[in-house]
């Protein structure tokens, strides 16, 4: 039976038929995992450009043993690929010999004797519950009378305790007022297509916001976060993304298809992306130095 499938479906079915996961396919084809996902989902906007798309399609198809020229032609024409699905009739048909057939047993009507054990167990359980309830009611202790003098003494004790607590509050407030929390800082290093942003004096939760200018389409991937493993594409339809870094994580790697028209902030503080000058894929490593309780108290 002939069916028409997309290029991504053909690539993915061939990879799975070879028993390769994404990591193994990356080692075999020398194509980055994030681009393999983009090719198999027909998400060409996530790749740098038309030249790279054809190059990755050709390299990936050849390593999987597919006809690379046919796939490139289908991409240029914007059409699907006609493939033949073979259906194994034997898998859907099972012949049962007459000697192996099992006739359904005739159900025997149940009489009242069938329910005697169930009724007996239910009655025994009910008697146990009633006995426990009666024992609790009979052994319930009486509530002792409160002595007026004891109540007055307790009341005065509470008042004294409140007074001593109130007297200590001003000194605690003055101690807290004298302490100061260090300000969050971001140090940038690296250049070209990779940079490191060292963030100090920050505490969980750590929120990273991405915003893309109108008319731009950028693919975003982020480790140690709630961003899906396949990443997310930002465009005019959905031009912003808020991600949370995993609590306790010491670093997070951000992979970008491009940085033109992109703004990134970490807990409201903008990252300086001017050192990233390449138009192709870019990588930002967030090194996280959290504020400790000891430094906050000093």
DSSP string, 85-136: PPP-HHHH-----GGG--PPPPPPPP-GGGGHHHHHHHHHHHHHHHHHHHHH
Question: Tens digit of pLDDT for each residue in 67-110?
Answer: 888 888 888 888 778 777 655 444 444 555 556 655 555 566 77
Place of tokens 């390299």: 59
Sequence-ordered list of residues with C-beta below 8 angstroms from that of 60, at least 6 positions apart, any chain: 11, 29, 31, 36, 39
Question: What pLDDT was estimated at residue 142?
Answer: 64
- Residue 27 belongs to some domain of the structure: yes
CA 204 to chain centre: 17
Domain end marker among 61, 84, 107: 84
Domain residues for the domain of 13 are 2-84
Sequence-ordered list of residues with C-beta below 8 angstroms from that of 118, at least 6 positions apart, any chain: none
Cα angle vertex 261, ends 256, 266, to 5°?
65
- Residue 228 belongs to some domain of the structure: yes
- Residue 211 belongs to some domain of the structure: yes
Question: What pLDDT was estimated at residue 205?
Answer: 92
Cα angle vertex 107, ends 104, 108, to 5°?
145
Q: Distance between CA atoms of 234 and 225, rounded to whole angstroms?
A: 17
- Residue 265 belongs to some domain of the structure: yes
pTM of the model as a whole: 0.41
Could you tell me the CATH number of the domain that includes residue 43?
1.10.260.40
pLDDT above 90 coverage of the chain, percent: 22
Domain end marker among 25, 51, 84: 84
The number of residues making up the chain comes to: 298
Residue 223, classed as helix, strand or coil, is coil
- Residue 125 belongs to some domain of the structure: no
Domain end marker among 57, 84, 111: 84
What are the Cα distances from residue 102, in Å, to 91, 97, 168? 22, 10, 86
Torsion of CA 238, 35, 21, 3, to 10 degrees: 80
Question: What pLDDT was estimated at residue 85?
Answer: 63
Ranges under pLDDT 70 in the chain: 85-108, 141-181, 280, 292-298
Question: What pLDDT was estimated at residue 261?
Answer: 84
**How many domains is the chain built from?**
2
Question: What pLDDT was estimated at residue 271?
Answer: 87
Contact (Cβ atoms closer than 8 angstroms) between residue 14 and residue 187:
no
């Amino acid at each position: 039976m002939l069916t028409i499938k997309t290029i991504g479906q053909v690539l993915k079915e061939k990879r799975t038929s070879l028993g390769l996961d994404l990591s193994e396919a990356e080692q075999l084809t020398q194509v980055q995992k994030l681009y393999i996902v983009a090719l198999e989902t027909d998400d060409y906007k996530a790749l740098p450009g038309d030249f790279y798309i054809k190059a990755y399609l050709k390299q990936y198809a050849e390593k999987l043993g597919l006809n690379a020229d046919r796939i490139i032609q289908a991409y240029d024409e914007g059409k699907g690929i006609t493939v033949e699905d073979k259906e194994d009739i034997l898998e859907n048909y099972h012949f049962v010999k007459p000697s192996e057939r099992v006739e359904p047993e005739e159900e025997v009507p149940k009489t009242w004797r069938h329910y005697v054990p169930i009724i007996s167990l239910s009655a025994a359980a009910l008697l146990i519950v009633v006995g426990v309830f009666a024992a609790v009611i009979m052994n319930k202790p009486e509530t002792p009378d409160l002595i007026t003098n004891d109540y007055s003494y307790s009341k005065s004790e509470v008042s004294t305790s409140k007074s001593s607590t109130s007297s200590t509050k001003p000194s605690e407030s003055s101690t807290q007022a004298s302490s100061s929390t260090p300000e969050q800082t971001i140090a940038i290093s690296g250049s070209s297509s990779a940079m490191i942003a060292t963030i100090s004096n920050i505490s969980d939760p750590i929120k990273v916001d991405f915003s893309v200018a109108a008319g731009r389409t950028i693919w975003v991937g982020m480790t140690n976060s709630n961003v899906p493993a396949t990443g997310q594409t930002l465009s005019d339809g959905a031009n912003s993304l808020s991600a949370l870094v995993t609590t306790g994580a010491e670093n997070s790697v951000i992979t970008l298809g491009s940085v033109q028209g992109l703004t990134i902030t970490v807990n409201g503080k903008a990252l300086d992306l001017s050192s990233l000058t390449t138009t192709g894929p870019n990588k930002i490593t967030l090194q996280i130095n959290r504020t400790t309780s000891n430094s906050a108290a000093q």
